[in-house]
Amino acid sequence: MTETDTGKKSRKMQSVGKMKEIMTGYYIDAKTAGQTGKKVAWITSGGPVEPLIAMDIIPVYPENYGAMIGASKMGADLCARAEAMGYSSDLCSYARADIASSLIDGGPIGGLPRPDMLVCCNNICGTVLKWYEVQARYYDVPLFILDTPFCHTEYTDEAKKYVRRQIMEYIAFLEEATKKKFDYDRMKEVGRISIEGQRLWQAVLDTAMKRPSPMTCFDAFFHLALIVTLRGTQVTVDYYRSLLAEMEQRVADGISAIPNEKYRLLWDNLPIWYRMRWLSEKFAAHDACLVADTYTTAWCMSLRYMDENNFLDSMAEGYTKSYLNIGVDEMIKIVLAMVDKYDVDGFVMHSNRSCKPYSLGQYDIQRAVQRERGIPSVTIESHMVDERSFSESQTETRIDAFMEMIGQKKR
């Protein structure tokens, strides 16, 4: 059944244009920072960005750039270039694509702006340490590493002291890099705005609890960009407030994300950036709406630890207990809670060769979901950016069989 143009039009999100506008403005600011006298810091996606915002430093995310590279299907070429430089094809494709684009000064938007400093937090993986060291040598700029101990079960007192002390070192690093005093009042304000942005992002994602859902995880993958890159800024808060209003209006008007939502699914791991449209159409053709995902939720998952009256302490805990820095048993609890919250019929796991910390433990999580909730799951083997690792017919067979299984079960 093909959808009418009117159906497609009413389903189109109005906020998309606004988002593109904000992101364009953001990248223009970052690319022209040299002329405006602003400093640019490259930072990992799970790194504490708020102190940078408080210091008027423009944060730039090689991982967000990696997503752009993937979505614009430039990943295979850049990854191959990195391999020619001697990097292993087993290495993270964000790292490979970023390192290669630095060298050729190419890729989408003609490459990222040159960094004045690098901020690396290992709460998402260990690869970032070497990746940022490589870039620090290449650009000959200072690197700050925030080491967040892995929280198998809890955030111990020792970990707390250890991370908190590094936050002070981080602030000293920024003071040294900018030759400016750190403004703690401004920090408090940025912290408040950051928490508000995360709350609004969570509220946007929560609208998918409604049946039919007004959005899919593919929409979330797109609208995620601001909470990643501009967390702690007013523009992010304003944007998510208007996006939330749009989602609520869609719910009120009964506008669903896909034409006929019959099945609701949960996605795990990073998106397959170069196959977003294909995947979303594939699932929609099965009347399946991917209503939620563990990935975009990661940018508001720490809300429960966040306290705007004690931002720096709570930030230390929140960033240390990020989704990829906790034990598999803790991840299972989060996934099970999402299965219940969004009331899903199946679980789709992207086993991402490119992201080991995210993919390790997926079979355990899958087993727990099947045991505790009895819903089917499927594994899609791929790479987030390197499209050479994607096999369409294999993926299609898995998805079709998975949907047939769910159909059998629901009948």
Partner 1 sequence: MITAGIDIGSITAKAAILSDGRILGTKVAFTGYNAREAGRSIYEALLRELEMEAPTIEKIVSTGYGRNSVVFADKPVTEIICHGAGAYYLNPHVRTVIDVGGQDSKVLAVNPDGTVKDFAMNDKCAAGTGRFLEVMARAMESDLDDFGPLSLQSHSPSKISSICTVFAESEVISLIAKGESREDIIAGIHESVASRISSMARRVGVREPVMMTGGVARNIGVVRALERALGVSIGVSPFAQVNGAIGAAVIAARI
Residue 24 binds partner 1, judged by CB under 8 A:
no
Whether residue 115 has a cis bond before it, omega within 30° of 0: no
Residue 400 binds partner 1, judged by CB under 8 A:
yes
Residue 196 binds partner 1, judged by CB under 8 A:
no
Cβ-contact 129, 47 below 8 angstroms? no
* Among residues 14, 24, 249, 397, the one that binds partner 1 under rule CB under 8 A: 397
Minimum Å distance from CB 384 to partner 1? 16
Residues whose CB is less than 8 angstroms from the CB of residue 354 and which lie 6 or more positions away in sequence, other chains included:
92, 93, 94, 270, 383, 384, 385, 386
Cβ-contact 236, 230 below 8 angstroms? yes
* Among residues 103, 209, 334, 405, the one that binds partner 1 under rule CB under 8 A: 405
Nearer to partner 1, 178 or 269 (CB): 269
- Here the tokens at position 41 are 């810091």
Nearer to partner 1, 39 or 286 (CB): 286
- Here the tokens at position 234 are 């007013």
Minimum Å distance from CB 254 to partner 1? 31
* Among residues 161, 376, 387, 410, the one that binds partner 1 under rule CB under 8 A: 376
Residue 373 binds partner 1, judged by CB under 8 A:
no
Binding-residue pattern over the window 257 to 296 for partner 1, x denoting contact by CB under 8 A: ----------------------------------------
* Among residues 274, 370, 373, 384, the one that binds partner 1 under rule CB under 8 A: 370
Minimum Å distance from CB 102 to partner 1? 30
Write the DSSP assignment of 383-406 as a string of letters.
Answer: -SS-GGG--HHHHHHHHHHHHHHH
Evaluated on CA atoms 65, 70, 74, 79, the torsion sign reads: positive
Residue 307 binds partner 1, judged by CB under 8 A:
no
Minimum Å distance from CB 78 to partner 1? 21
Minimum Å distance from CB 386 to partner 1? 13
Can you list the positions of beta strands (E) in 128-253?
143-146
Cβ-contact 217, 34 below 8 angstroms? no
* Among residues 381, 385, 386, 387, the one that binds partner 1 under rule CB under 8 A: 381
Can you list the positions of beta strands (E) in 30-139?
40-43, 58-60, 117-121
Minimum Å distance from CB 314 to partner 1? 40
Size of residue set near partner 1 by CB under 8 A: 18
Nearer to partner 1, 6 or 408 (CB): 408
* Among residues 25, 234, 404, 410, the one that binds partner 1 under rule CB under 8 A: 404
Cβ-contact 112, 41 below 8 angstroms? no
Contact segment (CB under 8 A) with partner 1 among 19-27, 145-153, 160-168, 372-380 equals 372-380
Q: Which long-range contacts (CB under 8 A, 24 or more apart) does 22-26 make?
A: 22/226, 22/230, 22/235, 22/239, 23/225, 23/226, 23/229, 26/229, 26/230
Query: Among residues 25, 17, 29, 98, which one has the least CA distance to residue 65?
Result: 98
129 CB-contact burial (10 Å; exposed 0-12 / middle 13-18 / buried 19+): middle
Residue 88 binds partner 1, judged by CB under 8 A:
no
Evaluated on CA atoms 277, 296, 153, 371, the torsion sign reads: negative
The CA–CA distances, whole Å, from 186 to 40, 157, 190, 191, 233 equal 19, 28, 6, 8, 12
Minimum Å distance from CB 399 to partner 1? 9
* Among residues 161, 277, 409, 410, the one that binds partner 1 under rule CB under 8 A: 409
Residues 10 and 50: their CA atoms lie apart, in Å, by 37
Binding-residue pattern over the window 325 to 364 for partner 1, x denoting contact by CB under 8 A: --------------------------------------x-
Map residue 346 onto helix, strand or coil.
strand
Minimum Å distance from CB 271 to partner 1? 19
Nearer to partner 1, 227 or 335 (CB): 335
Minimum Å distance from CB 391 to partner 1? 4
**Which residues of the shown chain bind partner 1 in the complex (CB under 8 A)?**
363, 370, 376-377, 379, 381, 389, 391, 393-394, 397-398, 400-401, 404-405, 408-409
